[in-house]
Amino acid sequence: MDEERVADTAETNEEAGPDRLSVTRSTVDGVTIVTVTGEVDHHTSGALRDALVPADPAAGARTVADLSGVPFMDSSGINALIAGQQAHEPPGWLRLAGLQRPVLRTLEIVGLTPIIPCYPGVPDALAD
């Protein structure tokens, strides 16, 4: 990220249970970056869902979910991603970045990757 982008960053942090899941939100050039660290399961998926749903979806919200710190996601995490995608219907968008292979494979199996674009990293998702 360049200096200008870093200067525009504001952060909040939400945790679902001690040491279970960390969800950090920041803004880069008008795009919300949701950085997730930890396992996403039925105990923690609510924090992910809350972070992915924009406050005003009608405003064309754009969000990149950085999932590079997520080693495991169950069906409740998939449901949170679907809810986030539905909340970003055009003119907005939701993109996923940095998926670890087990999580990416799960999303491929359930057919989510054609619906929510996936990128190798946050810079790639922002550049597209």
The residue range of the domain holding 51 is: 3-127
Tens of pLDDT, residue by residue over 45-87, are 999 999 999 987 667 899 999 999 999 999 999 999 999 999 9
- Please state the domain count of the chain: 1
The residue to which tokens 């986030």 are assigned: 84
Q: What is the CATH number of the domain that holds 97?
A: 3.30.750.24
Q: What tokens were used for 60?
A: 């064309």
The residue to which tokens 């939701």 are assigned: 94
Is the pTM above the cut of 0.95? no
Whether residue 47 contacts residue 14, with contact meaning beta carbons closer than 8 Å, is answered with yes
Tens of pLDDT, residue by residue over 89-120, are 888 999 999 999 999 999 999 999 999 999 99
Q: How many CA atoms lie within 13 A of 82 on its CB side?
A: 10
